[in-house]
Amino acid sequence: MENIKVIFWGLGVIGSEMARMTLDKEGLEIVGAIDKEKSKVGLKLSEYLNYGNSYIVINNNPIEILKSVEADIVILAIDSDSFVESIFPKIKLIIQNKINCIIISEEMIYPNSIESNLSKELDDLAKINNVTVLGTGINTGFMLNSLIMMLTASYKNIKSIRASRVTDLSGLGRTIIKSQGVGTTIQEFEKGTERGTIKGQIGFAQSISMIANTLGLRYDEIVESKEPIISNTYRETDTVIVHPGMVAGCNHIAIAYRNNKKIIALEHTQQIYPQCEGFETGDYIDIYGNGNLHLCITQDICSNIGTAAVAINMIPQVLSSKSGLKTMIDMQIPHVIENNFVDQLKYYLK
């Protein structure tokens, strides 16, 4: 079997991380690179990435590349494009060119709960063209839904689930730091959440729908809130300064209620230097049912790298899956792939 041929569409922070990972992996071959940014277009991929040995030239014309380049899968990684509605035309174009697709836009992790018509259209179109489309990532996509669901496997019955993720934004870029309201006043934070410029964790309520629907837990409503984390200390990064009394980040909470009881509660706390005030970064999951389970994970893999790895590691599964618009629920247990990706694909195709 030949190498798996990959096109990258979107070479921002995460797309670039994925491209570097792909260059390192046996059985994967980059055959196309698309980005609209003028500073990138025309550069050889390895020149832009400052990594590896790829002579593929970055092109700004997706229609041309998708039509002319023979590929097995497109990795669609437009960092700023988190929403089903806005990413939809790009996915449609990929499907119409009969190429499989992995997307890291947050809402694509469980698109049906938020855009059922567009999801139906993508699913139908993917089936007609015999390709598979999967949304994945680390915050939405893995830690705060797939992992939670997996941990319930040893349960007979579940009463409630609580999970929180505490993230340190200090090392991340200006865009994400701004999107969590870091460095704003409380008034600015409130305006920002109203206007949608302060975003919290996009796709967060969808993670609840995904967990609840998959496990068969009924709920009456999902209530979301984005609260400012008001700093008591002075905090400073390369791109932002937070004085005491200012906002150090955003605490995004989503809760599913049934009969006014909390069935699933997710919390993502994103701020710069959480250690300043005694918060440890990590993932915390508590499951209550016929028994109680408490999980704690600490790790030093940042979200960008985690998202990049999850997406690339899913390639063989997407290529071997039934056609259609899929979610992580439809995939086999995800895992790192140290061996040849083609061997992994052969295993799944057996």
- Measured distance CA(134)–CA(315) in Å, rounded: 10
**Total of chain residues touching a second copy, rule CB under 8 A:** 57
Would you give the DSSP letter of residue 97?
A: T
Closest CA relative to residue 4, chosen from 320, 336, 306, 332: 320
Listed in sequence order, the residues at least 6 apart from 350 whose beta carbon sits closer than 8 Å to its beta carbon are: none
Question: Taking CA 249 as the corner, what is the angle to CA 247 and CA 253, rounded to the nearest 5 degrees?
Answer: 120
Q: How far is the CB of 305 from a second copy (least distance, A)?
A: 7
Options 152, 209, 251, 281; binder of a second copy; rule CB under 8 A: 152
Q: Are strands 158-168 and 221-230 parallel, antiparallel or unpaired?
A: unpaired
Binding to a second copy by residue 31, rule CB under 8 A?
no
**3-class SS at 226?**
strand
Binding to a second copy by residue 63, rule CB under 8 A?
no
For the chain, the straight-line distance linking the first and the last C-alpha, in angstroms and rounded, comes to 13
Q: Which is nearer to a second copy, 43 or 215 (CB)?
A: 215
DSSP assignment of 233-270: S-EE-SS-EE-TTSEEEEEEEEEEEETTEEEEEEEEEE
Q: Which is nearer to a second copy, 178 or 262 (CB)?
A: 262
- Measured distance CA(267)–CA(250) in Å, rounded: 10
The interface region with a second copy, picked from 68-76, 83-91, 162-170, 309-317 by CB under 8 A, is 309-317
Q: How far is the CB of 244 from a second copy (least distance, A)?
A: 32
In this structure, which amino acid lies at residue 132?
T
Q: How far is the CB of 273 from a second copy (least distance, A)?
A: 19
Q: How far is the CB of 5 from a second copy (least distance, A)?
A: 20
- Measured distance CA(45)–CA(203) in Å, rounded: 31
Q: Which of residues 315-334 bind a second copy (CB under 8 A)?
A: 328-334
- Measured distance CA(236)–CA(239) in Å, rounded: 8
Closest CA relative to residue 58, chosen from 78, 80, 75, 42: 42
Binding to a second copy by residue 219, rule CB under 8 A?
no
The interface region with a second copy, picked from 95-103, 136-144, 227-235, 265-273 by CB under 8 A, is 136-144
Residue 123 exposure: Cα atoms within 13 Å on the Cβ side:
13
Q: How far is the CB of 117 from a second copy (least distance, A)?
A: 18
Binding to a second copy by residue 294, rule CB under 8 A?
yes
Binding to a second copy by residue 214, rule CB under 8 A?
yes
Q: Which is nearer to a second copy, 60 or 323 (CB)?
A: 323
Closest CA relative to residue 41, chosen from 33, 51, 30, 53: 33
Options 257, 279, 295, 346; binder of a second copy; rule CB under 8 A: 295
Binding to a second copy by residue 223, rule CB under 8 A?
no
Binding to a second copy by residue 154, rule CB under 8 A?
yes
Q: How far is the CB of 277 from a second copy (least distance, A)?
A: 22
- Measured distance CA(122)–CA(114) in Å, rounded: 14
Q: How far is the CB of 52 from a second copy (least distance, A)?
A: 14
- Measured distance CA(39)–CA(48) in Å, rounded: 9
| Residue 76 to residues 45, 157, 181, 211, Cα–Cα distance (Å) | 16, 38, 27, 24
Binding to a second copy by residue 142, rule CB under 8 A?
yes
Options 116, 130, 187, 298; binder of a second copy; rule CB under 8 A: 298
Binding to a second copy by residue 221, rule CB under 8 A?
no
Q: Which is nearer to a second copy, 3 or 340 (CB)?
A: 340
Q: How far is the CB of 227 from a second copy (least distance, A)?
A: 27
Q: How far is the CB of 54 from a second copy (least distance, A)?
A: 17
Q: Which two tokens stand for residue 19?
A: 């491209």
Bridge partners, residue 282, by sequence: 166
Options 31, 149, 176, 230; binder of a second copy; rule CB under 8 A: 149
Binding residues for a second copy, rule: CB under 8 A, are 21, 24, 138, 142-143, 146-147, 149-158, 214-217, 289-301, 305-310, 312-313, 328-340, 343-344
